[in-house]
Amino acid sequence: MLQVCLNGARERSACEALPVAARELGDAAAEAVAAGAADIHLHPRDDDGRDTMEPAFVDAAVAAVRSAAPGVPVGVTTGAWTEPDPLRRAALVRSWSVLPDHASVNWHEEGAEAVAEALLDTGVRIEAGVFSGTDAAARLRAWPHAHRVLRVLAEVTDPDPGTARDTACRLLDELAGDRRPAGPAGPAGRPRPRLLLHGEDGGAWPVLRLAAERGLDARIGLEDVLLLPDGAPAADNAALVRAALRLMGCDASGSRPAAGRRSRW
């Protein structure tokens, strides 16, 4: 599965094609899905262009993207930079009227558990963000509801193209300390959630190649990287999705030859 990350916390000045307003997010999502993306992650923005969890802006962004890309799962951020107080973040989750399909929770952030429990209470599935170089994996493993998350986002924050792959391998090794089999969450045996591996900036493409080799879900988009694998500026999110699918050996539907699929952390 290839997820598109439409905008992140980047400023528009970094890329003219960066979608910010709800309508722009909808247009960008439709183009990325047409290019082959199977899942969408976005950061709702307020009228000043700042990341926000305020319900008016989350509702508008999710509604616009869902209308533009019907049937494709839509997720949003709950990053601490949107609201430093974790109890306030949890309250904001409970105030949303147009619910996303999933939301990311960065597990190294204070109060991640409270925000995640608010998501569970409202029926929004959780992408558990585990950043490299943090204690997030251990914290997630200690959470009693860890088996209920939709997937783990293994987030490689090393932007150096020369070292990001090794950093990703260390993160995967750390996550592999949980020896339960991977698979859909359920009461019997409490298997591990699926894993999505991604990098950022100079590390984005080396890490995506590793995800393809390991048969893992991946993501790409203007949140993670502004350049194509050859170093040329990406015109938009759809261009990044097309490049990623070519690199992963997929066709425009996101399908890979069955013989090429394998999944190991």
pLDDT digits (tens, 9 = 90+) for 125-135: 999 999 999 99
Q: What pLDDT was estimated at residue 255?
A: 56
Q: Kindly indicate the confidence band of residue 157, based on its pLDDT and cuts at 50, 70 and 90.
A: very high
210's CB contacts (< 8 A; 6+ apart) are 165, 168, 169, 197
Average pLDDT (175-197) is 65
Q: For the chain, what is the mean pLDDT?
A: 91
pLDDT over threshold 50, residue 265: no
Segments making up each domain of the chain, as ranges: 2-260
Looking at per-residue pLDDT, the higher value among 260 and 67 belongs to 67
pLDDT over threshold 60, residue 140: yes
Residue range 68-86, pLDDT digits in tens: 999 999 999 999 999 999 9
48's CB contacts (< 8 A; 6+ apart) are none
Q: What pLDDT was estimated at residue 177?
A: 72
249-257 contact pairs (CB < 8 A, 24+):
249/212, 250/2, 250/36, 251/36, 252/35, 252/36, 253/36, 254/1, 254/2, 254/36, 254/37, 254/38
User: Which CATH superfamily includes the segment(s) 2-260?
Assistant: Aldolase class I (3.20.20.70)
Q: Kindly indicate the confidence band of residue 190, based on its pLDDT and cuts at 50, 70 and 90.
A: low
Average pLDDT (24-43) is 98
Looking at per-residue pLDDT, the higher value among 190 and 129 belongs to 129
Average pLDDT (207-214) is 96
Q: What pLDDT was estimated at residue 187?
A: 44
Q: What pLDDT was estimated at residue 189?
A: 53
pLDDT over threshold 50, residue 58: yes
Strands 2-5 vs 194-198: parallel, antiparallel or unpaired: unpaired
Q: What pLDDT was estimated at residue 188?
A: 46
How far is 113 from 183, CA to CA, in rounded Å? 22
Q: What pLDDT was estimated at residue 183?
A: 52
Average pLDDT (190-201) is 86
Average pLDDT (131-150) is 94
How far is 115 from 127, CA to CA, in rounded Å? 12
Residue 54 near residue 97, CB atoms below 8 Å: no
